[in-house]
C-alpha cells in the first residue's frame, strides 16, 4: 500500500471504517442499483423521470446533513437556510446574466459558493464561540426562521436586484434552467432525460467523494470529535476548525440542492426555508440513519417517496405522519430505522457464518 500512487491511495478510501458497505458484494449491489437507475428512464414516462430528478435534488442536502450531524455530531437545523440562500442567489444571478455562454453553470458555482460563505461566517461565530449541541441547533434554526421572514416581506418593487424581483411571500420565478453550451446549440436542462442523467452523475460523484472524505484523515478526526470532543482536543486537534469545515461542506451541499431545485422548477419561495421545510431534512436523515452516508441516502429516498404518496392520497395527514415517524424513530431506533434494519441483517448473516 505504501508505495502505491497517491491517487490509488485516495481511491482506496472509498471503503473504510466510517462507511457501511465494503467488499465485492456491496459494490456489485451498488453497480446493479446504478445500472437500474441508468436504465430507469427507458421504462418510465417523462413525468416520472422529472419527478425522480426532484427526489434526487434533495439528496445532496441530506448527505450534507449526514456529514454535519451524523459524522460531525453538530446539530444543524439550518440546512434549508443555505438551500434558500443558494436558491435565491441562483435566481438573481441567472435572471440578470441570462442563460447564454454557460452563464447558468457559472451562476450555479457562484450560488453554491455564496451559501458556503454564509455558512463559514455563521459557523465561525458558532463553533469558535464553542457553543454546544443544543444551542447550535436553536441558533441555526433561528437564522433559518428569520431568513424566511426576511424573504417573505420582500414583496415591494423596491426589493429587486437588477432585473430580479424577489416578490416576497409569493416567491421568485422565471429564472432560466441550467443550460450547457454545446456546439450544436445549447442543451437546456428541463426536467427530462439530460437533467436526470446529469443529476444522477452528480449524485454518484458526490456520494463517492463523501465516502472518500469521511474515510480520510479528516473524516476520522471528525468522528473522533463526535465521540468525545475533549479527548480529540487533548490529542491536539483543533476541533473548531474540523467542525467548521464539515459545516461549510454540508451547507454547501444544501446550497447545491437549492440551486438544482430552483433550476428544476424555475421557482423558489420563502416557505422552502420555514419551520416545516426545515424539519423535513431532519426527518429524512434521522429516519435513514444519520451515522452513515448510504443509509442516509436510502432512508431519504424512501421517506421522500412515502411522503409524496401520502401527499397525493391523504394530503393533509402527510406532515402528521412525518412528525410521528420522527418521534417513533427517536424513541425506537435512535440511530435510524434503515440503519437498524441493516445492522439487524448484518447480525443475522454473521450468526449464520459463525455456525
Partner 1 sequence: MVDSLNLVFSFLYQFGDAFAFLVLSACGLAVIFGMMGVINLAHGEFIMCGAYVSTRAAHAGVPMPLAILLGAACAGIAGMIVELLVIRRLYQRPLDTIVATWGISMIVTQGMLILLGPSMQGVGTPFGSFVVGGYSYSVYRIILMLSAVATLAVLWLMFTRTRFGLLSRATIQVPHVAEALGVNTNLVYSVTFGLGAALAGLAGGLYAPTMTLVPTMGASFMVEAFVTVVVGGADIFLGTAPAALILAVIKAGLTSWQGQLAGQIGLLIAVIIVIRILPRGISGKILRERG
Q: Rounded distance, CA 29 to CA 161, Å?
A: 48
According to CB under 8 A, which residues from 271 to 310 bind partner 1?
274-276, 279, 282-283, 286
Q: Which of 67, 103, 143, 259 binds partner 1 (CB under 8 A)?
A: 143
196 neighbors 41 (Cβ within 8 angstroms)? yes
Q: Which of 70, 137, 291, 336 binds partner 1 (CB under 8 A)?
A: 137
Check residue 241 for interaction with partner 1 (CB under 8 A): no
Structure letter (DSSP) for residue 176 = P
Where is 320: in which H helix or E strand?
helix 317-332
Q: How many residues does the chain have?
A: 355
Q: Which of 160, 177, 198 is nearest to 267 (CA)?
A: 177
Q: Which of 111, 178, 260, 322 binds partner 1 (CB under 8 A)?
A: 322
Check residue 134 for interaction with partner 1 (CB under 8 A): yes
Nearer to partner 1 by C-beta: 101 or 317?
317
Check residue 37 for interaction with partner 1 (CB under 8 A): no
Check residue 156 for interaction with partner 1 (CB under 8 A): no
Query: What are residue 167's phi and psi, to 5 degrees?
Result: 65, 20
Check residue 138 for interaction with partner 1 (CB under 8 A): yes
How buried is 265 (Cβ within 10 angstroms: 0-12 exposed, 13-18 middle, 19+ buried)? middle
- Residue range at the interface with partner 1 (CB under 8 A); choices 6-14, 129-137, 233-241, 347-355: 129-137
Q: Which of 62, 63, 126, 212 binds partner 1 (CB under 8 A)?
A: 126
For the bound state, the minimum distance from the C-beta of residue 338 to partner 1, rounded and expressed in Å, comes to 16
According to CB under 8 A, which residues from 47 to 86 bind partner 1?
75
For the bound state, the minimum distance from the C-beta of residue 327 to partner 1, rounded and expressed in Å, comes to 4
Check residue 125 for interaction with partner 1 (CB under 8 A): yes
Structure letter (DSSP) for residue 191 = T
Angle at 29 between CA 28 and CA 35, to 5 degrees: 90
Q: Which of 36, 153, 205, 231 binds partner 1 (CB under 8 A)?
A: 153
User: 325 is written with which cell numbers?
Assistant: 415517524
For the chain, where are the E strands, in sequence order?
160-161, 164-165, 172-173, 179-180, 187-188, 267-268
Q: Rounded distance, CA 247 to CA 241, Å?
A: 10
Check residue 323 for interaction with partner 1 (CB under 8 A): yes
Q: How far is CA 32 from the centre of its chain?
A: 23
Pairing between strand 164-165 and 160-161?
A: antiparallel
Q: Rounded distance, CA 232 to CA 72, Å?
A: 12
x/- letters, 174..193, toward partner 1 (CB under 8 A): --------------------
For the bound state, the minimum distance from the C-beta of residue 75 to partner 1, rounded and expressed in Å, comes to 6
- Size of interface with partner 1, in residues (CB under 8 A): 42
Q: Which of 27, 47, 106, 128 binds partner 1 (CB under 8 A)?
A: 128
- Residue range at the interface with partner 1 (CB under 8 A); choices 167-175, 261-269, 329-337, 345-353: 329-337
Q: Rounded distance, CA 199 to CA 256, Å?
A: 11
For the bound state, the minimum distance from the C-beta of residue 323 to partner 1, rounded and expressed in Å, comes to 3
Residues that bind partner 1 (CB under 8 A): 75, 122, 125-126, 128-131, 133-135, 137-139, 141-143, 145-146, 149-150, 153, 274-276, 279, 282-283, 286, 316-317, 319-320, 322-327, 330-331, 334
Amino acid at each position: 500500500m505504501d508505495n502505491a500512487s497517491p491517487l490509488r491511495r485516495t481511491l482506496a478510501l472509498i471503503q473504510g471504517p466510517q462507511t457501511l458497505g465494503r467488499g465485492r458484494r456491496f459494490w456489485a449491489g451498488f453497480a446493479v442499483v446504478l445500472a437500474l437507475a441508468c436504465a430507469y428512464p427507458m421504462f418510465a414516462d417523462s413525468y416520472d423521470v422529472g419527478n425522480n430528478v426532484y427526489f434526487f435534488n434533495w439528496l445532496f442536502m441530506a448527505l450534507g446533513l449526514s456529514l454535519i450531524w451524523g459524522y460531525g455530531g453538530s446539530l444543524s437545523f439550518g440546512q434549508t437556510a443555505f438551500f434558500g440562500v443558494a436558491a435565491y442567489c441562483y435566481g438573481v444571478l441567472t435572471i440578470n446574466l441570462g442563460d447564454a455562454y454557460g452563464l447558468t453553470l457559472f451562476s450555479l458555482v457562484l450560488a453554491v459558493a455564496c451559501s458556503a460563505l454564509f455558512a463559514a461566517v455563521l459557523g465561525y461565530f458558532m463553533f469558535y464561540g464553542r457553543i454546544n449541541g443544543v444551542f447550535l441547533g436553536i441558533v441555526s434554526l433561528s437564522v433559518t426562521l428569520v431568513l424566511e421572514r426576511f424573504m417573505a416581506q420582500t414583496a415591494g418593487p423596491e426589493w429587486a436586484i437588477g432585473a430580479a424581483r424577489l416578490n416576497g411571500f409569493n416567491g421568485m420565478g422565471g429564472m432560466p434552467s441550467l443550460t450547457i453550451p454545446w456546439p450544436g446549440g445549447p442543451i437546456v436542462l428541463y426536467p427530462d432525460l439530460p437533467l436526470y442523467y446529469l443529476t444522477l452523475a452528480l449524485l454518484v460523484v458526490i456520494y463517492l467523494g463523501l465516502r472518500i472524505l469521511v474515510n480520510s484523515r479528516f473524516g476520522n478526526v471528525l468522528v473522533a470529535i463526535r465521540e468525545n470532543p475533549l479527548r480529540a482536543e487533548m490529542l491536539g486537534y483543533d476541533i473548531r476548525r474540523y467542525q467548521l469545515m464539515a459545516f461549510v461542506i454540508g451547507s454547501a451541499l444544501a446550497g447545491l440542492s437549492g440551486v438544482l431545485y430552483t433550476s428544476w422548477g424555475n421557482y423558489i419561495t420563502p416557505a422552502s426555508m420555514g419551520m416545516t421545510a426545515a424539519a423535513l431534512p431532519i426527518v429524512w436523515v434521522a429516519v435513514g440513519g444519520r451515522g452513515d452516508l448510504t443509509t442516509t441516502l436510502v432512508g431519504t429516498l424512501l421517506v421522500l417517496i412515502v411522503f409524496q404518496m401520502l401527499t397525493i392520497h391523504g394530503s393533509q395527514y402527510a406532515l402528521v405522519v412525518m412528525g410521528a415517524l420522527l418521534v417513533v424513530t427517536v424513541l425506537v431506533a435512535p440511530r435510524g430505522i434503515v440503519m437498524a434494519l441493516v445492522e439487524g441483517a448484518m447480525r443475522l448473516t454473521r450468526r449464520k457464518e459463525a455456525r
